[in-house]
Amino acid sequence: MPNVLRADGITVKFGGLTAVNDVSLSLGSGEILGLIGPNGAGKTTLFNAVTGFAPMHSGRITFLDQDITGLPAFKRTRLGFGRTFQTERPFEELTVLENVLVAAFLTVGRRSEAERIARSVLEQVGLADRAHQPALDLNLARRRRLELAKALAVKPKVIFLDEIMAGLNPPALREMIAFVRSLTAQGLAVLMVEHIMEAIIELSDHVIVLASGEKIAEGTPHQVTSDERVIEAYLGTD
């Protein structure tokens, strides 16, 4: 499988604290990579370093054979990154449609074209009937779907999902899992940070487990969930 994204030896430091230490990962098109680990393991920090939202101390990132280390986040988006935020960040004063239009305008300049893209993405995530609602008024599950819509409207080649399953009720969770799977069918590569094991096990082709900023295990979902170091990191030793 051709590599879409490669990150080698990513290290992120905050002052004297090493939040992520020498972690590497790679991701092919149509593949889902799950990133798990206990709280404070450095998942979101790694995620932000790869997407360009947090500065790295050292490491190298290549995307479609292009070195993008040090490129600002908005330029990574232009190359084909799409991301959601852990705490949803809609443009609150804008309507649902306008939120997605902002992203759709990345690839097209004409309003009518952008609107066509935005409406088709809203259709895809099931928010078409909410198009004219102020984004501020959406409930949690719909805000999540709006985050997804914004990430998809930039027409990404790789999409980064930061805990989009958290807090969803069981039916909404099932829907979201099915939706993420449908993304890979279009050849999209997915990197997801997730706490919900059900989603990780069901979706991931490959899982990386972080603890205290280090990669402690890597493999298929079943390999890592039976790994002793992983169980130890989650449950502790006696």
Partner 1 sequence: MTKHLIGLGLLLAAGIAYPAIFPNNLTIAISVLLFAGWATSWDLLGGWNGQVSLGHASFVGLGAYFVAIGQSQFGLAPWWTMAMAAAFAAILGYFWGWLTFSLRGPYFSLSTIAVAEILRLVAINEDWLTGGATGVFIATLPEPFGIDLFSRTAQFYMALAFAAVVIATVIVISRARFGFQLRAVREDEDSAMAAGIDPTATKLKAFMLSAALTSIGGGIYGIVLAFIEPHVMFALLLSVQIALTAIIGGRGTIWGPAAGALVLVGAGEMFRTTFAEANMLIYGILILVVVLFVPRGIVGELARRHIRRLYAKRAQS
Q: Residues 120 to 159: which contact partner 1 by CB under 8 A? A: 132-134, 150-151, 153-154
Cα–Cα dist 68/8, whole Å: 12
* Nearest residue (CB) to partner 1, 109 versus 170: 109
- Measured between its terminal Cα atoms, the distance across the chain in Å is 42
Beta strand 158-162 with 81-83 is: parallel
- Residue 94 interacts with partner 1 (CB under 8 A)? yes
* Nearest residue (CB) to partner 1, 37 versus 82: 82
Q: Min. distance of Cβ 180 from partner 1 in angstroms?
A: 18
Neighbours of 215 (CB within 10 A): 21
Q: Residues 176 to 235: which contact partner 1 by CB under 8 A? A: none
Cα–Cα dist 102/114, whole Å: 9
* Side-by-side strand order, sheet with 17-28: 17-28, 3-14, 58-63, 66-67
* Nearest residue (CB) to partner 1, 25 versus 135: 135
Q: Which residue has the tokens 């430091």?
A: 13
Which range, of 101-109, 186-194, 205-213, 216-224, touches partner 1 by CB under 8 A?
A: 101-109
Footprint of partner 1 on this chain (CB under 8 A)?
Answer: 51, 53, 72-74, 77-78, 82-83, 85, 89-95, 98, 101-103, 105-106, 109, 111, 114, 132-134, 150-151, 153-154
